[in-house]
Structure 1
Amino acid sequence: MENNQGQYQQLQNRLMEHVEKERIFTDPALLLAYGTDASFYRLIPKMVVRLKNIDEVIFTIQACAHLNIACTFRAAGTSLSGQAVSDSVLITLTDDWRDHQIHDDGFKITLQPGVIGADANKYLAAFGRKIGPDPASINTCKIGGIAANNASGMCCGSAQNSYRTVDSMKLVFADGTLLNTSDLESVKAFQSKQSTLMQGIKDLCKKVADNQQLTDRIRHKYRLKNTTGYSLNALVDYSDPIEVIKHLMIGSEGTLGFIAEITYNTVIEHPHKASALIVFESIEEASKAVTALTGDPVSAVEMMDGRAMRSVADKPGMPDFIKNLNLQAGTLLIESRAGDQALLDQQCVSIMNTIAQFKMIESISFTSDANTVATLWGIRKGMFPAVGAVREVGTTVIIEDVAFPVEHLAAGVHDLQKLFDQFHYDEAIIFGHALEGNLHFVFTQSFEAEDEVKRYGDFMDAVADLVAVKYRGSLKAEHGTGRNMAPYVELEWGKDGYALMQQIKALFDPHSILNPGVIINDDPQSHLKNLKPMPKADDLIDRCIECGFCEPVCPSRTLSLSPRQRIVLYRELQRRESAGETEGASALQKVFEYQGIDTCAATGLCADRCPVGINTGDLIKKLRTSKYKKFTPIARWTADHFATTSNMVNLSLKANTLAQKVLGEKAVAKVANGLRHLSAGKTPMWIPELPTSNKHRPHNSMSADQTNKKVVYLPSCASRTMGQQAGNKESRSLTEVTESLIKKAGFDIIIPESLSDQCCGMPYDSKGMNLLADQKSKQLEMALWQASEQGKWPVLMDTSPCAKHSIEKFTHTMEILEPTVFVLKYLLNHLTIKPIEETVMLHITCSSRRMGIENSMLQLAKRCTSDVIIPEHIQCCGWAGDKGFTTPELNAAAVHTLKAQVPEHCTRGFSNSRTCEIGLSHHSGIPYQSILYLVDEASH
């Protein structure tokens, strides 16, 4: 569909009647960044629109239809087959699409398309239920994508996918018509308005019923996992057109309409589980075991070939025997679930008896031990990233997804392996959901040369013939058709099956404005076009596969860019530089300066979600080295005169407090923020939650009996200078409270020498000033080494970012603790805790998350108070050192949902970072302070 620029300008003008200009993007750099998804295709949209409600969706679809402009819907962008990219209008959703409702004691749940799959299961956990689909990307992918792709997963099979568990839907069609399938009035109105569509559906059902051969083919295809093409089983399974429409929408990949809401029939989440890893001498033996297990009480059977096991052999924590397995071995990871332990034990015995007849060479018996189970499933989950981590720069990782009839599983694996050898994909591995005959194979591919593209095309032709023709299997079992398999849909389904799909598309979308080129595509070479380049950019990020798993935890994702998008733009900058392309380079660099560098919190949370462990923050800090180079002399002076610098901060806080008293908050805000406006944001933002000056000075406290209960207390530079915010009922500073609590537990306090000169170095590190950061870190390390008597006593740092940074940087063996772990490990046994009857907010800082102490913080808070609320979807507050002052919009974006989650009766919150608490207080409407205040108040 071709459109000129004038049409897009008309569309933009029309959209701005109902959609805020800030949510309509046309800047080329942002179109590239926002237009990228997890697939190996690149289409750059002409426009990206973020919509916040169903009225905006209807208006946008109608506006596109009026101008004959194509549009594509995207949820999380984790799709692998090219179904969520567009060279026209890309429609994405704001965070306003995250509502859910639970019905019938958890047996049903209604979800908006922006709900992350794992969150849906979190909501259902208290009922012992979950949604059926369980894709590997469930911590990132969203319900809209799960339903639109009919995603399944390791345990769901085809019995619990969206097609089988959908109860009702709210849908928007290509002409803007709205249908709520659970509302009789809506159904009646739809039947009247869409009589042509309704009759067309009836005619298609009759056509299939009259064609026994086609009916049999459809039934055979859905005996397997199958997401190739449209869900033709809807025409066999149902006769009511509304039911047919509802089920055709599942797996339609946004080509038939927009899923605005879906209600699922949930499935049981068994409380008792056990897993086992069994290695057989060959893939044939493993396949025979799978066939034998089809009648046993197994919830998951994951198969891995010898190359797949070899790919993870060197990963930390792997069983030693994996390194010695030959490439012919076949491995099964088996899980069984039950309602009680006795039944689970019986099931495990039964399963082992079933597979005892096959030739096993290694095994880890069924276990429910959490650590062992995590290790076993870590083997399976680590395979895709294992290939991605070792690929050559410039290549991309491709994961394909087929299904064989389970009786042909061994032969199918064998033939796939022969194709790998024939086409020289020596690194390719095979793993998958064996009970369903569903196999994934992963390989690396370069698209930089024509002969490489041809090799890939020839390989895919051979795979399609093998799977669809020889074994009558599914070319796409659970990843969706997309652009990648669209040219092969007719090969798998035959002319009459494909013609049926063409008629379905024409009925629902007669002008083909919804995601054209996906599922139905007349170009036999479409899967070899618009291939994404993966140029070398920097060793820190070259392994990125652009999967998007990082995005949910990024504090800047709604403001500017996510880690994936930062990498996309940086790769493009480096590509242009290498190619000598100057056109548009400065404009792109300017966009990246703010969107990529200035607004990155550099928390590193992305690394914990990244399959290959990339910390995009490390790249940003590296780039900041040159950006902040001109400020290095000033920074060096502050590092060399840190006590003086701290005193200056203290004086400014005193001056601020005095100004507020004399002039009032409004006047101070007007002057300070007016200056910020005049300086184009070069001066800090003023907010009323700025802390007062901390007048308290920590000191050594030794008891007369010289006990062995001692702790080195290192107050951070923030807590040394900052007191409470003005007007807080609690007037004591953090240093006072910390001393009080330590003494209450009977510990002696050791304060390091030259305390006012000490800093962990993180303020310098965040700006890429590595030498200064290391200088301060080493200075602090030596002071603590001396104070702790060479590591004899634990060291308490009263803010978590400083503790984390020091743990990572120090070379001497010392026990460095932030407040939560210190209290739990050393103080609780010496305190009497009487919980306070109060609801409090708890913010878990990004540094605490990275240290893995989320549960510890929650445990401690629950020991001290009756009700603790951890707000959803706030992984980091975005204060990021001093960015809360210099780039306050980052803090605002990161916690934009916070205030709405604070109950009316809640009057305070707790955390473990003094600077983060400033922004949390400002945006929540309640004061936040260290969790040590809560412990001190609840303890005796």
Structure 2
Amino acid sequence: MQQPYNTLIAQLQERIDAERIITDPTLTLAYGTDASFYRLVPKLILQLDNLEEVVFAMKACYALNIAVTFRAAGTSLSGQALSDSVLITLTTNWRHHEILNGGEQIWLQPGVIGAEANKLLAPYGRKIGPDPASINTCKIGGIAANNASGMCCGTAQNSYKTLAGMTIVLADGTVLNTLDDASVAAFRRSHSEMLDDLTALARSCLDNPPLAEKIRHKYRLKNTTGYSLNALVDYQDPIEILQHLMIGSEGTLGFIADITYNTVVDHAFKASGLFVFADIETTCLAVSELSKTRVAAVELMDSRALASVADKPGMPDFIARLGAEGNTEAAALLVEIHAEDDPGLSEQSDALTNLINGFAPIETVPFSRDPQVCAQLWGVRKGLFPAVGAVRETGTTVIIEDVAFPIEQLAPAVRELQELFTTYEYHEAIIFGHALAGNLHFVFTQAFDTDAEITRYGAFMDAVAKLVAVDYQGSLKAEHGTGRNMAPFVELEWGSEGYALMQQIKRIFDRTGILNPGVILNDDSDAHVKDLKAMPAADTLIDKCIECGFCEPVCPSRNLSLTPRQRNTVYREIQRLRRSNEDPARLAQIEHAFQYQGVDTCAATGLCAERCPVDINTGDLMRKLRANHSAMATTIARWTADHFDGVTSVTRLGLNAANGLHGLLGGSAMRSASKAARKLSGNRLPLWTPHMPRSAGKLRQPSGLKINAIGREKIVYFPSCASRNMGTEKDAMDARPLFEVTLSLLAKAGYEVVIPDNLNSQCCGMPYQSKGFPETAHSKAKQLEAALWQASEQGRLPVLMDTSPCASLSKDTLRSDLTIYEPFQFVAEFVMPRLEITPQDEPVMLHITCISRRKGLAGVMQKVTEACAKRVVIPEDIQCCGFAGDKGFTTPELNASALSPLKAQVPEDCREGYSNSRTCEIGLSEHSGIEYRSILYLVDKVSQPVAGK
């Protein structure tokens, strides 16, 4: 590493923890990846914890003239979040927020995810204006820095238009809070020259009417090409000019440390409809008329776009029929309307239906308020991008460009764009977009592995730039930001005068040019075809990954090691190095690092697949890599499966022994001894915690239970191996093991319980599957299937499994005519209707397990818990606990990282938490400070049999 960086690191270590100053080449590759089709590897990554650290780091980089780039979620598509120098990312400590003025404003730090901001505002009937498609992943810092918009946002509700104020850190480390009078006054004194320069720049625009009018014209369209020059004609106060120039500046002018938005109304009454027209001309004429109404969103989809999703589940039947009939001219509009009340929505729906019918649609799905129908319609639109990504050839990447045309010229522009696809042989390319703003996205696949492919892409982009910026005077980047991708074309779009203004703005803010160089302004006319990201084949399980990062917010290891996107990036590099044999030492280093960073710390929950546009489950790859066992390990796994009863008996003995030592030594000494033993073993021994369960003892039906014998029904109860072995913790509120509580509850509800034969030998196979022994897992599953088939009278009786992971795996792997339930759904359907519930006053925490989220049970879990307690707290930012079977014991740092936000969210008067996974509950108890247990304990505690039955 060059000397300036060594000097920088030495300085940074004075104030910043060494583990947050990252130089490891595997991690810089992984953490430096973003959603664009460019690849730069940082020399240094800083994970900064607070504003003081940002100021300190920026001053150090400024003094040494070292380039700095800021990264939020890394979902940017144009290459603006990459660096081959210093990349600054933010820790989870940048997620603070405050609701202001009854929800009319919201103060946000840059680490807050956009959808989280809207969730905070939902009780007030408000939302932030920007609504990018990546809102479930992208963060406020990126939304503001890119002036991201979206489907309903248009140009009236983006960050520029809804900005109330912000805190900025400039290149030299100066901090300005534009909402603090004292900060503003101090800044006016210390940076008077800068403010004078901005005032003079604005005056020069107003003194040049043609230039001023050009600027106004450009921003009647969606436009994120270059800097926000509209600030120079919209405002006179240099502080207002400064903060509005920061919007859309992509980190090239400074760092946005927080932002306050003026929020917008989130209408409760909504409806959506889909309308297909004979050709693009008719479609665009309809758009022109719709733009004159109060419609909320109009999404255009061309014929190729419709064809790309024709075979997807849930699509309207006529979409496939259009393709079958060879209709290559049709185009569709997906229209959404909002209103303040029900009559207003009906009135608007009727008026718009009459308007649209005037353009003779050939197929329609009329306006509907049904959430399921609306979700289906928007599924058409949201399926377009992944539809292209899923069918691309291995080794290619998916490129999505976004441009804007004047609405009145939309039809010929689309025609000419389609002709360019044909000319440059992008036959898979599709067009869709936010038609009200003339904003079109086009998606195509591209390889960058040969000079010929790069040349083709370069020529195509030259042609697109001319078509959009010159022929139609449109925007080359409507909402995705300029980045590196369009930097060479900024002058083409804006002309020499506009480009000169941008160069002056850059010099005023960043005289030494250290802030994100090469982004927005770039003197290299070929910058857009350099540093291109290779996408080599790695494994069919992940080859479709487009590195968008949508998976990251739900990954339990995201703050510990790698995310699914990063795992895929590193594994691709491993496979490339294996094939090329170009650097054996580098390969050995990255393979060694990946074992822990990638394989060992992956919880393999599958939540990533739920968020992935192309349904990739990176956990499947990690399990596959774990399956590379020795013959001895495979033999041992088979032996334990064949002797499962004996193995679990030994487990119970071990739990009893640990509990005895706990009683003898006390919690503190026991914890210290466990940590010492684990350290001496090289972290091979599992870590004991005070919440380690006691042995559950032998399964027996508790005495004293009275079962109503009249007309009782049978159910099958399969206590999981976890609940058969693991009892409660030492000082539990209710010492009964879970199977006793379950039998008690079923007795209250009047059920006769059937227990499968050879119970202690039975297992769903989960322990073997998670450790990479799929054949052994399958064998145990088949054994359980036979037992349940017999116990359920050949599938006639429902089966209750008392932990959600076992129930979920069994539903996926056992025969479909077995009806299997996890605890919450079973209680909701079979138990609560037979009981009198008296909800308790004491608050409870509820943990929704990752498998329950995947199976769509979150709502059921919340409903059941709220029926049993008057106050239920579901913690934010915890999608998975990270216990992952036994990783809470073997890799406890994964569990600790995933649950790091939990303890602070437990109310002071709360003493109990509930879930539906015994192992998860151990980690939840450890990291919350309260006892977590199965929801069946709570239901049993607050319920009584219905009187008279």
Place the TM-score, normalised by the shorter chain, in its bin: over 0.9
Query: Matched residue of 1:246: which SS?
Result: helix
Which moved further from structure 2: 529-538 or 325-334? 325-334
- Structure 2 counterparts to residues 292-331 of structure 1, below 5 A: 292-325=289-322, 326-331=327-332
Native 8 Å contact 1:840 1:907 kept in 2 = yes
Conserved? CA contact 2:542–2:568, under 8 Å: yes
Which residue does the alignment assign to 2:598? 596
Q: Which residue of 2 aligns with 1:194?
A: 191
Give the 5 Å matches for 1:303-702.
303-325=300-322, 326-581=327-582, 582-627=584-629, 630-698=632-700
Q: Which amino acid aligns with 1:811?
A: R
Name the amino acid aligned to 1:297: R
Q: Are positions 1:868 and 2:854 aligned together? A: no
Residue 880 of structure 1: aligned partner: 884
1:79 and 1:925 map into 2 onto residues whose CA distance is 39
- Work out the CA distance in 1 between the residues paired with 2:191 and 2:431: 46
Paired with 1:100 and 1:633, the residues of 2 have a C-alpha distance of 54
Shift of 1:663: 2.6
In 2: Cα distance, 1:674 partner to 1:636 partner: 32
Alpha-carbon spacing, 1:628–1:183, altered in 2? closer, same or farther (3 Å): farther
What is the deviation of 1:324? 1.8
User: Matches of residues 62-81 of structure 1 in structure 2 within 5 Å?
Assistant: 62-81=59-78
Contact between 2:132 and 2:149, CA under 8 Å: does it hold in 1? yes
Match of 1:59 among 56, 59, 62: 56
Amino acid at match of 1:299: A
| SS of 1:91 mapped into structure 2 | strand
Moved more, 719-728 or 299-308: 719-728
- What per-residue deviation string (whole Å, max 9, x for no partner) do you get for residues 337-356 of structure 1? 00111110100111111122
| C-alpha separation in 1, matches of 2:708 and 2:185 | 85
Alignment of structure 1 residues 90-129 onto 2, 5 Å = 90-129=87-126
The Cα shift of 1:667 comes to 3.3
Q: What is the deviation of 1:631?
A: 2.1
Cα deviation for residue 676 of structure 1 reads 1.0
Answer yes or no: is 1:909 the counterpart of 2:908.
Answer: no
Q: Percent identity among equivalent residues?
A: 61
Deviation at 1:583, TM superposition (A): 3.6
Deviations 1:295-343 (A, max 9, x none): 2221000000000000001111111110122221010000100011111
AA partner of residue 890 (structure 2): T
Tell me, what secondary structure is at the counterpart of 1:672? helix
Aligned to 2:855: 851
Tell me the SS of whatever aligns to 2:443.
Answer: strand
Task: Evaluate the alpha carbon distance shift between residue 698 and residue 463 of structure 1 in structure 2; reply closer, same or farther with a 3 A threshold.
Answer: farther
- Secondary structure (helix, strand or coil) at the match of 1:380 reads helix
- Is 1:232–2:233 an aligned residue pair? no
3-state SS in 1 of match to 2:864: helix
**Alignment match, 1:749:** 753
Given that 2:720 and 2:803 are in contact with CA atoms closer than 8 Å, whether structure 1 keeps it comes out as: yes
Give the corresponding residue for 2:8: 11
Letter in 2 for 1:621: R
Is contact 1:699-1:751 (8 Å) kept? Answer: no
What number of residue pairs does the alignment pair up?
937
CA distance in 1, matches of 2:221, 2:99: 31
What SS does the aligned partner of 1:512 have?
A: coil
Question: Unpaired runs of 5+ in structure 2?
Answer: 945-949
Once the two structures are TM-superposed, the CA of residue 708 in structure 1 deviates from its matched residue by 5.4
Q: Tell me whether 1:723 sits opposite 2:720 in the alignment.
A: no
State the shift of 1:213 in Å: 1.1
Counterpart of 1:48? 45
Q: Which amino acid aligns with 2:521?
A: I
- State whether residues 698 and 739 of structure 1, in contact with CA within 8 Å, keep that contact through their aligned partners in structure 2: no
Distance change (3 Å), C-alpha of 1:629 and 1:497 = farther
Cα deviation for residue 729 of structure 1 reads: 2.1
C-alpha displacement of 1:705: 4.3
How far did 1:706 drift?
A: 6.9
CA distance in 2, matches of 1:50, 1:558: 11
Is the 1:607–1:616 Cα contact (8 Å) retained in structure 2?
Answer: yes
Please say if 1:739 is aligned against 2:740: no
Which amino acid in the other structure matches residue 444 of structure 2? Answer: F
What is the CA deviation profile of residues 493-517 of structure 1, one whole-angstrom value per residue up to 9, with x for unaligned ones?
0001000000000000000100000
Q: Is the 8 A contact 1:284 1:330 kept in 2?
A: no
TM superposition shift of 1:683: 0.7
Among 238, 248, 253, which residue is 1:241 paired with?
Answer: 238
Aligned AA (2:669)? A
Per-residue CA shift, 1:800-855, capped at 9, x if unaligned? Answer: 00001111111241111000000011111101111100111110111111111001
Q: Distance in 2 between matches of 1:59 and 1:553?
A: 31
Distance 1:71 1:343, change over 3 A: same
Letter in 2 for 1:577: R
Return the alpha-carbon distance in structure 2 between the equivalents of residues 290 and 333 of structure 1: 11
In structure 2, the partner of 1:771 is 775
Q: 1:765 to 1:469 in 2, by over 3 A?
A: same
2:947 aligns with none
Q: Does 1:206 align with 2:206?
A: no
Whole-Å separation in 2 of the counterparts to 1:469 and 1:139:
35
Structure 1 counterpart of 2:182, one-letter code: E
Contact 1:112 / 1:261 at 8 angstroms: preserved in 2? yes
Which AA in structure 2 matches 1:662?
L
User: 1:653·1:692 contact (CA, 8 Å) conserved in 2?
Assistant: yes
Query: What is the CA–CA distance in structure 2 between the aligned matches of 1:670 and 1:207, rounded to whole Å?
Result: 70
Superposed displacement of residue 580, structure 1? 2.0
Specify the SS of the correspondent of 2:727: strand
Q: How far 1:46 moved relative to its partner?
A: 0.2
Does the CA contact (< 8 Å) of 2:706 and 2:747 recur in 1? no
Q: Is the 8 A contact 1:73 1:90 kept in 2?
A: yes
Asked whether the equivalents of residues 712 and 750 of structure 2 are also in contact (C-alpha less than 8 Å), the reply is: no
* Matched AA of 1:170: T
Gaps of 5+ in 1: none
CA contact (8 A) 1:77 1:548 kept: yes
What is the SS of the residue equivalent to 1:591? Answer: helix
Identify the range of structure 1 (6-15 vs 119-128) with the bigger mean alpha-carbon deviation. 6-15
Check the 8 A contact 1:602/1:616 in 2, yes or no: yes
In structure 2, do the counterparts of structure 1 residues 158 and 629 end up closer, same or farther at CA, with 3 Å as the change threshold? farther
CA contact (8 A) 2:389 2:544 kept: yes
* Counterpart among 260, 267, 283 of residue 286 in structure 1: 283
Match of 2:811 in 1: 807
The answer to which of 801-810 and 629-638 deviates more is: 629-638
CA contact (8 A) 2:708 2:750 kept: no
Instruction: State the SS of the aligned residue for 1:397.
Output: strand
Q: Is the 8 A contact 1:698 1:751 kept in 2?
A: no
Taking structure 1 as the reference length, the TM-score comes to 0.99
Provide the C-alpha distance between the structure 2 equivalents of 1:689 and 1:228, rounded to a whole number of angstroms: 56
Deviation digits for residues 642-697 of structure 1 (CA, Å, limit 9, x no counterpart): 01011001001111111122232333333332221111001111111101111251
Decide whether the 8 Å contact of 2:707 with 2:748 is kept in 1: no
Structure-2 separation of matches of 1:924 and 1:633: 39
SS of aligned partner of 2:728: strand
Instruction: For residue 275 of structure 1, give the secondary structure of its aligned residue in structure 2.
Output: strand
Distance of aligned partners of 1:426 and 1:698 in 2 relative to their CA distance in 1, 3 Å threshold: farther
TM-score (norm 2): 0.98
RMSD: 1.1
- For 1:814 and 1:655, the matched residues in 2 are separated by 38
1:275 aligns with 2:272: yes
The equivalent of 1:785 in structure 2 is: 789
Question: Matched residues in 2 for 1:504 and 1:629: separation?
Answer: 66
SS at match of 1:364: strand
CA contact (8 A) 1:7 1:67 kept: yes
